[in-house]
Amino acid sequence: MAVGCILLARTGWLDIVRADDFFGRPARVLVENVRSGGVNARTASPGARTIQATIYNPRIALVESLIPRGDIYDRNGILLATSRQDTLQAHNADLQQLGVDLARCCPPSDERIYPFGSLTWHLLGDIVEKARFGASDTGFVERVANGRLRGYENAGEILPAVRRRRQPNQPELAKLLRRDRDVHLTIDIRLQQRAESILADALSRAHKTAGSAIVLDVDTGGILASVNIPGPGDAHPEEPRDPLLVRVALRGKARDDLRPFEDVARFGAFPPGSTFKLVTAVAALRKDPALLSQAESCVKLDDDRTGAKIRGYGNRPIHDDVGDSAHGSLTMADALRVSCNAYFAQLAAYQVGAAQLAETAALFGIRTVRPLRGDESNPDAPVRRLAKLLPDSGYGQGEVTASPLQMSLVSSMIANHGALVRDRLIAGPANEPAVVPRTILSPASAEALAQAMRSVVLSGTAHKFLSGSVVQIAGKTGTAQIDKRPGANADDSVAHSWFTGFAPYDGERRIAFAVFIEHGGYGGALAAPISGELVAAARELGII
């Protein structure tokens, strides 16, 4: 009798108190993966049979199959992803104008259709293949916005529909179907196309193989374009954007080489070189605006190179670029214009300090030292390590690493009169509250840096490449030296090329940008002209 009561109580507890928890809980099931059938038949090799465990709730999956996944659009309403052929056909005219041939790229058998293929893969991901979905250096919209796209955020929202799934015209499912499941991005796919074309052409002319570019809306932080070369499908140069070839790459041997699948534009970690001098300048002006007038010396050293010996670091010499003349005594604006390493090494070591530099870099997500085991329990350790590297870190070497997105945020803050607006890719609703920027610098300090960035183009390190631009550009070149690895190819020892800035200098509606070319050499020679073409494209498209 007692046992029966216990079982009855236990059953009641399961059926009533914890019913939803158990009803909606996924189960681990074994799935056979075969070419002729199976759940993942498209990714299996011919004749292959494998058994894999997967998390799956058939009840919820059944109801999910009745709710079409939402569509993804760019900022102008251009379709970027859909699961419905009728939606695809409704947007056929717009897609054709942008060079998309539905008959070639988008077969009716596809579960999820990405008309622009590799052009949007780093941004959207692929919900069918799910390549790199769990990687921390990705921000796929298909994953980040999965709740909205599928129509519910957690199992509790869909359980009523699951429970009544066999009832005709049940209201819970109708309620889910009425939800707006579409996602709108800040991306302008027209600029995305132009950016990829500009980058690809420049890399081809320079005989380089990898680079990234990103463009932000200064007012909103919206990412307008973000491109990476190589990308999935680039193993087929004849049709690099073809969505079908992208999927071949995702499940083929190309996955052994991660480089085409890395979103360097948003999540890369490369030495930023002299573009980081902007961060050191920001750190100095946050500490004391009067440091704008701080003078340091760049002289001819004993080894016939120019630079400075840093006190407190064993009089270790910091050199400027080979062939540079001694800059003499100069202040911050002139040091940015001529990109003097010696000045920013001294500014970091004598005026800014490790703690201030690390704190300022962190505002933009930039890492100043490599993380080591134990840093979590001893937060002062990274600052102490940075202090030992401070002269080199001050001009973007040492262990400093950044992504093009992070460097574009620095330029965006300066262009926005000292206020930082965080980047975003997913646009909010029309009634969303206005973005509240974070004040990093005073407007006066930001304007001083903006003027210095403009002088870089007018008479400084980017003068030869951008001074003739129709749109007034302000920016900073960067040449990031890298260690020569034993046995490396000659090109692998060439410095990375950077340029970051904003435009128009004399306008209110501004974009910020950054261009990074792996092993591209001198920043002004390759990354700067690409930036000029990006700005021109944004103007032609009416973005600025």
**Going along 57-164, which residue ranges are E strands?**
72-73, 79-81
Question: Which H/E stretch holds residue 539?
Answer: helix 523-540
Q: Tell me if 142 sits within 8 A of 127, measured CB to CB.
A: yes
pLDDT in tens, 323-374: 678 899 999 999 999 999 999 999 999 999 999 999 999 999 999 999 888 8
Distance CA 26, CA 171 (A): 24
Distance CA 532, CA 530 (A): 5
Bridging pattern class, strands 419-420 and 438-439? antiparallel
Beta-ladder partners of 367: 401
CATH for 273-540, among 3.40.710.10, 3.30.390.50, 3.30.420.40, 3.40.50.800?
A: 3.40.710.10
Distance CA 76, CA 186 (A): 9
Find all residues with CB under 8 Å of 267, minimum gap 6, and list them: 137, 138, 139, 403, 405
Q: How many CB atoms lie within 10 A of CB 439?
A: 13
Find all residues with CB under 8 Å of 224, minimum gap 6, and list them: 75, 186, 187, 188, 191, 215, 216, 217, 511, 538, 543
- How do the pLDDT tens digits run along the chain, 544 residues long? 565 556 555 555 444 444 445 444 555 444 444 433 333 333 334 444 444 444 445 555 655 666 789 999 999 999 999 999 999 999 999 999 999 988 877 777 788 999 999 999 999 999 988 888 888 899 999 999 998 998 877 666 666 666 655 566 677 667 767 788 899 999 999 999 999 999 999 999 999 999 999 999 999 999 999 999 998 866 444 444 555 556 656 665 445 567 888 999 999 999 999 999 999 999 999 999 999 999 999 999 988 889 999 999 988 899 887 667 889 999 999 999 999 999 999 999 999 999 999 999 999 999 999 988 887 778 889 999 999 999 999 999 999 999 999 999 999 999 999 999 999 999 987 667 777 899 999 999 999 999 999 999 999 999 999 878 889 999 999 999 886 554 555 555 688 999 999 999 998 899 999 999 999 988 788 999 999 999 999 999 999 9
Distance CA 65, CA 68 (A): 7
Question: Which H/E stretch holds residue 458?
Answer: helix 443-458
For 396-433, the DSSP string reads T-TT-BB-HHHHHHHHHHHHTTTEE---BSB---TTPP
Tell me which residue has tokens 């435009």. 503
End-to-end CA distance of the chain: 81
CA atoms within 13 A on the CB side of 334: 14
pLDDT in tens, 14-56: 444 444 454 445 554 444 444 333 333 333 344 444 444 444 4
For 148-175, the DSSP string reads HHHT-SSHHHHHHHHHTTTSTT-HHHHH
CA atoms within 13 A on the CB side of 352: 35
Q: What would the two tokens of residue 16 be? A: 């009533």
Length of the chain: 544
Find all residues with CB under 8 Å of 375, minimum gap 6, and list them: 381, 382
Pick the closest to residue 98 from 35, 6, 182, 192 (CA basis).
192
Q: Tell me if 2 sits within 8 A of 18, measured CB to CB.
A: no
Find all residues with CB under 8 Å of 466, minimum gap 6, and list them: 457, 473, 475, 528, 529, 531, 532
The three-class DSSP label of residue 91 is coil
Distance CA 217, CA 503 (A): 10
The reported pTM is 0.85
Distance CA 232, CA 247 (A): 8
Distance CA 106, CA 88 (A): 9
